[in-house]
Amino acid sequence: MSKLVELASTIRSKNAGVDHITFDILFSDPAAYEQVKASHVLTPERVAGLYHVAPERVVRFVTFDPARAIKFTIRRDQPSGSPGEGDVMGSQQYAPLLDLEVSG
């Protein structure tokens, strides 16, 4: 069993407008990309659970084989930069992905 952070070359999050945060998981190793896809460790339902949001807040989830990338977007609780919002750029939201265990 490996951790996602050991298999991916890049794991990042960022704003996708003021109301969404998008996540990119990129792989330089094709076998690692296929391993993660086959493991189903990342699905819209799993992402919703990982981020403690309702499944309908995962507004987009795609795997993109030509780029060996998995990308998903979550609707924010509140707009970026609004009072009390703690990550204006959305760039600190990727941490829960790092320790995901990937079978295979």
pLDDT in tens, 25-49: 999 999 999 999 999 999 999 999 9
User: Rounded to two decimals, what is the model's pTM?
Assistant: 0.93
Tell me the per-residue pLDDT of 17-27, one tens digit each, with 9 for 90 and over: 999 999 999 99
**Is 51 within the bounds of a domain?**
yes
**Is 49 within the bounds of a domain?**
yes
Spatial CA neighbour of 97 closest among 74, 79, 81, 66: 74
**Is 88 within the bounds of a domain?**
no
**Is 15 within the bounds of a domain?**
yes
Q: Which domain holds residue 64?
A: 2-78
**Is 100 within the bounds of a domain?**
no
Tell me the per-residue pLDDT of 53-67, one tens digit each, with 9 for 90 and over: 999 999 999 999 999
Task: Give me the pLDDT at residue 104, please.
Answer: 75
**Is 14 within the bounds of a domain?**
yes
Structural domains counted in the chain: 1
Return the CATH number at 66.
3.30.70
Spatial CA neighbour of 94 closest among 2, 1, 17, 4: 4
